[in-house]
């Protein structure tokens, strides 16, 4: 099949406030080949937070009413009026209305599986989809291990822009800075890091970046005050993606203590910036990126402390070796260029099928 016109792609995401995939989607929008593809973005909420790089005529706002019939009719009208060819969902919810409407409308549908949720609704979403991308290699066996899915799935790991996420010149300091970048909430489990400070040298300071869940921040504050850790925990709030490399380069160690993750972009970003990384085994993605010596068990607090101390006492030449290996790994396997190209190939394939 010869595609004479540009392929119109509609990226759907709940919003650009809380959705963790917003930066991956934004990179796709910016980097995709505009001579072959014409990208649009659809959000459910907070349209005022859509980044300026997305032109006004490429934005669609669609808020679900919860009434299935009405939502189907309205969503179908939205995609038909914009002559969309492919919908690519970055929605973390098991919303099967999008692929269902796509089937009714003759539009191809692809979604990227990012979390470890499993339900009947997710199964329906997968059945109705033309293709599924997943970013954690363990998901193939966990979610798609039946013959029906074998020809409609692709493993596409996340990538970062290595021209932006790269090592910067380090400044000398008296503190050993550990930190985490991500929403501050129960799943991200920052309390686990705060507790570890009680068993670490006094000059170890924890830096936390991200939007804060109000009740969880209150819970953290109470623990910090109770154990007199106010001078060793710093909250920096939300940080724009363009400022993340600079923030990462102020850290001596990046730690991700999440309860549940797919393939964490934050780990990839830290490695690209030449920062050592420790991570919980939060769903299998960390094992794909890191050797076992850099993964800790959330049921064993002492294991994390031991691994932090090991890195704390590393000689500079040993540290440099780890950093160079991490940077090389990301450049070779997790560049945004490779991720965009992989998706472009899928778009062309499903349009031609």
pLDDT of residue 137: 85
Q: What residue spans of 82-230 are helical by DSSP H?
A: 97-105, 120-128, 139-143, 190-196, 214-226
pLDDT of residue 139: 87
Of 125, 97, 101, which Cα lies nearest the Cα of 111? 125
- The answer to whether residue 168 sits within a structural domain is no
pLDDT of residue 138: 84
pLDDT of residue 23: 83
Together in a domain, 182 and 77: no
pLDDT tens for each residue of the chain, 353 residues long = 444 589 999 999 999 887 778 888 999 999 999 999 999 999 999 999 999 999 999 999 999 998 999 999 999 999 999 999 999 999 878 888 999 999 989 999 999 998 777 788 888 899 999 999 998 888 888 889 888 999 999 999 888 999 999 998 877 889 999 999 989 999 999 999 999 999 999 999 999 999 899 999 999 999 999 999 999 999 999 988 889 999 999 999 999 999 988 778 899 999 999 999 999 987 667 888 898 999 999 999 899 999 999 999 999 899 889 889 999 999 999 999 999 999 999 999 999 98
CA Rg, the chain, in Å? Answer: 21
Together in a domain, 120 and 212: no
Together in a domain, 345 and 310: no
What is the DSSP code (8-state) at residue 171?
P
pLDDT of residue 283: 67
pLDDT of residue 102: 94
Instruction: Provide the whole-model pTM.
Output: 0.82
> Hunting for tokens 């910036």 — which residue is that?
273
Q: What angle do CA 323, 275, 92 make, to 5 degrees?
A: 125
Q: How many other C-beta atoms are found inside a 10 Å radius of the C-beta of residue 298?
A: 15
DSSP one-letter string for 251-303: -SEEEE--SS-SS-HHHHHHHHTT--EEEE-SSSHHHHHS-GGGEE-TT-HHH
H or E element that contains 320: helix 316-333
- The answer to whether residue 169 sits within a structural domain is no
Backbone angles phi, psi at 164, to 5 degrees: -105, -45
Measure the CA–CA gap between 213 and 186, rounded to whole angstroms. 8
Q: What is the CATH number of the domain that holds 68?
A: 3.40.50.2000
Per-residue exposure over 203-239, b if at least 16 CB sit within 10 Å of its own CB, e if not:
ebbbbbbbebbeebbeebeeebeeeebeebbebeeee
H or E element that contains 134: strand 131-134
- The answer to whether residue 245 sits within a structural domain is yes
pLDDT of residue 262: 77
132 bridge partner residues = 111, 153
pLDDT of residue 2: 45
- The answer to whether residue 164 sits within a structural domain is no
Together in a domain, 209 and 324: yes
The number of folded domains in the chain is 2
Of 335, 172, 170, which Cα lies nearest the Cα of 269? 335
Task: Say what angle helices 265-272 and 316-333 make with each other, to 10 degrees.
Answer: 120
């Amino acid at each position: 099949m010869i595609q004479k016109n540009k392929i119109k792609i509609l990226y759907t995401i709940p919003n650009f406030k809380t959705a963790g995939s917003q930066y991956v989607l934004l990179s796709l929008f910016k980097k995709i080949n505009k001579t072959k593809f014409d990208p649009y973005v659809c959000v459910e909420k907070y349209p005022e937070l859509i980044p300026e790089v997305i032109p006004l005529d490429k934005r669609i706002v669609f808020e679900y009413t919860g009434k299935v019939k009405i939502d189907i009719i309205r969503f179908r009208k939205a995609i038909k009026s914009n002559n969309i060819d492919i919908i690519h969902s970055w929605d973390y919810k098991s919303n099967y209305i999008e692929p269902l409407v796509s089937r009714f409308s003759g539009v191809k549908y692809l979604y990227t599986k990012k979390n470890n949720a499993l339900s009947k609704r997710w199964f329906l979403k997968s059945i109705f989809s033309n293709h599924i991308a997943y970013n954690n290699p363990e998901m193939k066996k966990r979610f798609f291990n039946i013959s029906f899915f074998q020809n409609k799935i692709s493993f596409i790991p996340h990538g970062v822009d290595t021209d932006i996420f790269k090592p910067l010149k380090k400044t000398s300091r008296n503190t050993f800075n550990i930190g985490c970048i991500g929403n501050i909430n129960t799943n991200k489990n920052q309390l686990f890091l705060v507790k570890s400070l009680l068993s670490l040298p006094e000059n170890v300071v924890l830096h936390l970046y991200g939007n804060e869940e109000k009740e969880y921040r209150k819970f953290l504050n109470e623990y910090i005050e109770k154990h007199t850790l106010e001078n060793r925990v710093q909250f920096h709030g939300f940080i724009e993606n363009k400022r993340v490399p600079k923030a990462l380069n102020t850290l001596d160690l990046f730690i991700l203590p999440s309860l549940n993750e797919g393939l964490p972009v934050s780990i990839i970003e830290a490695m690209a910036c030449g920062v050592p990384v420790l991570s919980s085994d939060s769903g299998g993605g960390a094992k794909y990126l890191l050797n076992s010596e850099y993964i800790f068990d959330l049921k064993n607090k002492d294991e994390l402390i031991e691994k932090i101390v090991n890195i704390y006492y590393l000689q500079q030449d040993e540290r440099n070796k780890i950093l160079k290996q991490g940077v090389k790994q990301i450049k070779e396997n997790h560049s945004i260029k490779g991720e965009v190209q992989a998706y472009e190939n899928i778009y062309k394939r499903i349009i031609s099928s």
